[in-house]
Amino acid sequence: MGELAKRKRVLVTGATGFIGSHTIHPLLQRGYEVHAVSSKLPHVVDESVVWHQADLMDSPSIARLLKDTHPTHLLHMAWYVVPGKLISSELNFDWVRASMELLKSFQQQGGKRVVMPGSGYEYDWSYGYCHETRTPTVPNTTYGACKHAMDVMAQAFCRSHQISYAWPRLFFLYGPNEHPDRLVSSVIRSVLQGQEARCSHGRQMRDYLHVQDVADAMVSILDSTLEGPINIGSGVAMTLRDIIITIGRTLGKEDLIKLGAIPSRANDVPMVVADIERLTTTMQWQPKYSLETGLAHTIEWWRQRLAQSN
């Protein structure tokens, strides 16, 4: 067991975040010695995990962290992800720099396998259908451009240092621990509190996946030899309207759903959906949550969270 742990020691950045927090259990299940890093330590610490507090914007802190942990695997989840701000934030450029520093330190400590999440925002959304090689990567946002630049640089660095590298591109997520201002969370919170959920027309078609399915796919990829970009999504385009109405129906409060109450974004495209053939064929991966079970699970999480805060 000691040799196994030595061979599979993973450093997870952003480990208290939306996705990162959901990767811990599947990593432990796969026999990894998990070193989790965050800017703030969690309130409840899992004794199966070694927790580290570090500022990833500080180069000396990164170097110390990697020297202390000496990981064989890196699952780099940390990034700036504040809703309404991440798309155009200048902090995206800072995260490109910090991520390259992290990758360099990982290589210097003998790291062998790295997985960093990219984004569906890297694609040209005018195509609607996003395929890893057939859809142009022509991002029109700061976030998408920085993620794509990160992929190009990290891929070149890993190739020159014989590091195994995969770049999962994530699409639209929902689930426990999501930021309260994101679409699914905000609708659930409003309805649970007896308030109107004011939304746009909801005819936009998007590819949504429960966060635990996303995290499980990320860990499966880390634990494989798969390289390069790989989409993680449901592969199904559903209207935002269907998602929102399902929340209202599940809670028996459809009257609180107010579609068309606010304008949609001027640059909203009609459809964004991931081609996930590479994920399902190469990884033999299938999601565990349907939309209905995933939303019910998320609603129950928010119900408990709101009860604790009262």
Instruction: Give residue for tokens 């689930």.
Output: 175
Closest CA to 229 of 171, 155, 172, 161: 155
Q: What is the mean pLDDT of residues 233-251?
A: 97
Q: What is the mean pLDDT of residues 35-60?
A: 90
pLDDT of residue 249: 96
Closest CA to 309 of 180, 164, 187: 180
CA 24/CA 150 separation, integer angstroms: 24
* Strand boundaries in the chain, DSSP class E: 9-13, 33-38, 50-53, 73-76, 113-115, 118-119, 129-130, 164-170, 172-174, 197-198, 205-206, 208-210, 228-232, 238-239, 257-258, 271-274
Burial of 12 (0-12, 13-18, 19+ CB in 10 A): buried
- Tell me the pLDDT band of 3, cut-offs 50, 70 and 90: very low
- Tell me the pLDDT band of 2, cut-offs 50, 70 and 90: very low
> Could you tell me which residues are beta bridge partners of residue 52?
37
Closest CA to 242 of 267, 297, 205, 287: 205
CATH number of 2-173+208-235+276-288: 3.40.50.720
- Tell me the pLDDT band of 6, cut-offs 50, 70 and 90: low
Q: What is the mean pLDDT of residues 38-60?
A: 89
For 74, the 3-state DSSP assignment is: strand
Q: What backbone torsions phi and psi does residue 113 show, to the nearest 5 degrees?
A: -140, 125
Q: What is the mean pLDDT of residues 197-213?
A: 97
Q: Which two tokens stand for residue 275?
A: 């081609």
Lowest mean pLDDT: which of 19-28, 156-165, 267-276? 267-276
Q: What is the mean pLDDT of residues 173-177?
A: 97
- Tell me the pLDDT band of 264, cut-offs 50, 70 and 90: confident
Q: Which two tokens stand for residue 147?
A: 């993620």
pLDDT of residue 309: 84
pLDDT of residue 89: 97
Q: For the chain, give every domain's residue range.
A: 2-173+208-235+276-288, 183-205+237-270+292-309
Lowest mean pLDDT: which of 1-15, 76-90, 104-118? 1-15
Q: What is the mean pLDDT of residues 220-236?
A: 98
Please determine, for residue 7, whether its predicted confidence score (pLDDT) is greater than 90. Answer: no
Instruction: Tell me whether strands 129-130 and 271-274 are parallel, antiparallel or unpaired.
Output: parallel
Please determine, for residue 126, whether its predicted confidence score (pLDDT) is greater than 80. Answer: yes
Calculate the average pLDDT of the chain.
95
Instruction: Express as a percent the part of the chain with pLDDT over 90.
Output: 92
Please determine, for residue 1, whether its predicted confidence score (pLDDT) is greater than 50. Answer: no
Chain-centre distance of CA 272, in angstroms?
Answer: 17
pTM above threshold 0.85: yes
CA 240/CA 184 separation, integer angstroms: 9
pLDDT digits (tens, 9 = 90+) for 93-106: 999 999 999 999 99
Please determine, for residue 10, whether its predicted confidence score (pLDDT) is greater than 90. Answer: yes
